[in-house]
Each structure stands twice: as structure tokens, then as C-alpha cells.
């Protein structure tokens, strides 16, 4: 049985032939289908919504942090693909007793590309993964690095308010857009309206996930910060790091154009 090393530097014994794969990370589920492994995917989370038509018949094994371990065990998977940030550590450790578990740890574009390469390697799709990474790299090379020099707060949750801080994949994309995160705090800190008013960012981004911010929330933040530009953004573009990366450069380029209009110095 071949031994592979995951992104946490763990040795993982993975069978040469994978007949049953469980993915507990939405973006990595989409990646598996993109690389032609849909027939081997036997279990996914309820948040794995892409590709929409193809995942309908796949067993749903709970949420990313609330897995049904007994159901996963009953599926008898050859491999579980997890993520350090998106999955609960104790549940992932319990899965290790069931079958091999490969864990990604993605916090920027480079580590996202490495994850794609490595998932391709462990699943026998090395060529497909390499081709995908080449496409993504070429698209990002076309993405013009902006010079916005604007401050930003990126919200992922409401009640309590939570933002994406430093050390996150989301923050790496904000930096790529020339946006400076006003919350220089690691991971996903809770913040208050007073915190936001005192810092007074140039831009507030409200993500579509995990909290589904709507127009009424844009209005709410605009009243709180009348001088800030408040924009709803597609959370998948900022936090899905598999084959969805094919669409990210163009999306970020459009966002930069919106922010640049009337805001950039």
C-alpha cells in the first residue's frame, strides 16, 4: 500500500485502487468530480453542492463539522479527504480509525495548487490535476495586480459578527486584490459594531457563505458605516480552492474594477 504525505505532513497509507472515496470538504468534492472521480465518490456533506446534478444521488453524511461517523463507517470507504480548517479535529481523528484520511491545509493560492496536485497524485489523476493547475496558474498570470490600497473587513457570520482575519485563505485573496484587512487578528475573530465603527474600513464585504448575507444586511451595514462601500460577494470564490479556482481570477478582477471606481486614491 503506497504511503503519501498530506499537507499536515502526516504519512497516509492509501490503496492503489480507490473504489470508494468520502469527501467532507465541498470544494474538494467539486474537484474530485472535475477530475473524473465522481463514480468513486460514495459520501459527501450536505454542503457539497457542486456539481449540482451529479451529487444528487451521493450519500449525504452530515455537515463539515457535524459528521455522521456511523454512516461513513457503513460506506466502507477506501479514503476520506478532509481539511484542517473546515472539519472538526476530533471527528477527523475518529475517522482515522475507520480508513485512511488525507488532510489538506490551504491558506493561499500556492497551497491550493499543491493540494490539487497531491489529490491528483493519491487518486491516480496526476495528469488531470497537473493540467488543471496549469490552467489556473495561467489565468492568475493574466490577473492584473491592483494598487487599491483600501482597507477592508470581510464578514462571514452575523450574531455574533465574525470576520476573516489573517492567516486565512480568504485573507490571501484580499491581499491579492490590494485590500488591507483592518482586523489584524488570526483566523476568524468575533467583532462588535463599535469595533467596526472605530476602525471605519473603506470597504465591507459580506459573503454569501457560511452566513447567507442578503440586501437587508448590506443596508444594515451601510447605515452603520455611511462612508464605507458595502458589497455582497460570492463566498465560493473566496473560500473554495479546488477546480472553482478557474473562475476566481476573472471574479476578483471584476470586484477590483467595482472597488476602484470612485474609491481608489
Domains 3-106 and 150-260 share a fold: yes
Burial of 166 (0-12, 13-18, 19+ CB in 10 A): middle
Helix axis angle for 109-122 and 169-176, nearest 10°, is 130
CA–CA separation, 171 and 104 (whole Å): 18
pLDDT at 264: 42
Q: What is the spatial distance between Cα 43 and Cα 62, in angstroms, rounded to a whole number?
A: 10
Q: How close are the terminal C-alpha atoms of the chain, in Å?
A: 58
Residue whose grid cell is 486565512: 168
pLDDT band at 265 (very low <50, low <70, confident <90, very high): very low
Domain boundaries in the chain? 3-106, 150-260
Instruction: Supply the CATH classification number for the domain 3-106.
Output: 3.40.50.1980
For 105, the 3-state DSSP assignment is: coil
Which of the following CATH numbers is that of domain 150-260: 3.40.50.1980, 2.60.40.10, 2.102.10.10, 3.90.75.20? 3.40.50.1980
pLDDT digits (tens, 9 = 90+) for 140-196: 998 877 778 899 999 999 999 999 999 999 999 999 999 999 998 989 999 999 999
- Choose among 238, 259, 6: nearest CA to 122: 6
109-122 and 126-142 helices, crossing angle to 10°: 160
In angstroms, rounded to a whole number, what is the distance separating the alpha carbons of residues 139 and 129? 15
The grid coordinates of residue 217 equal 444586511
Contact 103, 88 (CB under 8 A): no
DSSP 8-state secondary structure symbol assigned to residue 62: B
SS3 57: coil
CB 131 within 8 A of CB 108: no
Judge whether 256 and 152 are in contact, CB under 8 Å: no
What are 13-53's pLDDT values in tens digits?
Answer: 999 899 999 999 999 999 999 999 999 999 999 999 999 99
DSSP-derived 3-state class of residue 180:
strand
Residue pair 164/107 in contact (Cβ under 8 Å)? The answer is no
Amino acid at each position: 500500500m503506497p504511503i503519501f504525505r498530506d499537507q499536515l505532513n502526516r504519512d497516509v497509507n492509501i490503496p492503489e485502487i480507490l473504489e470508494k472515496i468520502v469527501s467532507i470538504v465541498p470544494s474538494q468534492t467539486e474537484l474530485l468530480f472535475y477530475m473524473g472521480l465522481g463514480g468513486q465518490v460514495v459520501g459527501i456533506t450536505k454542503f457539497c453542492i457542486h456539481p449540482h446534478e451529479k451529487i444528487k444521488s451521493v450519500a449525504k453524511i452530515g455537515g463539515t463539522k457535524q459528521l455522521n461517523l456511523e454512516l461513513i463507517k457503513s460506506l466502507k470507504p477506501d479514503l476520506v479527504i478532509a481539511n484542517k480548517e473546515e472539519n472538526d479535529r476530533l471527528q477527523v481523528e475518529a475517522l482515522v480509525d475507520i480508513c485512511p484520511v488525507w488532510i489538506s491545509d490551504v491558506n493561499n493560492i500556492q497551497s491550493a495548487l499543491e493540494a490539487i496536485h497531491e489529490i491528483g497524485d493519491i487518486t491516480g489523476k496526476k495528469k488531470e490535476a497537473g493540467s488543471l493547475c496549469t490552467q489556473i496558474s495561467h489565468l492568475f498570470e493574466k490577473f492584473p495586480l491592483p494598487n487599491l490600497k483600501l482597507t477592508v473587513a470581510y464578514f462571514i457570520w452575523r450574531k455574533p459578527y465574525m470576520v476573516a482575519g489573517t492567516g486565512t485563505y480568504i485573507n490571501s485573496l484580499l491581499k491579492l486584490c490590494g485590500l488591507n484587512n483592518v482586523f489584524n487578528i488570526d483566523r476568524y475573530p468575533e467583532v462588535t459594531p463599535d469595533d467596526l465603527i472605530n476602525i471605519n474600513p473603506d470597504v465591507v464585504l459580506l459573503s454569501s457563505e457560511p452566513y447567507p448575507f442578503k440586501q437587508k444586511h448590506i443596508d444594515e451595514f451601510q447605515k452603520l458605516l455611511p462612508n464605507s462601500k458595502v458589497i455582497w460577494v460570492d463566498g465560493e470564490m473566496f473560500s473554495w480552492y479546488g477546480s472553482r479556482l478557474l473562475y476566481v481570477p476573472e471574479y476578483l478582477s471584476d470586484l477590483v474594477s467595482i472597488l476602484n471606481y470612485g474609491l481608489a486614491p
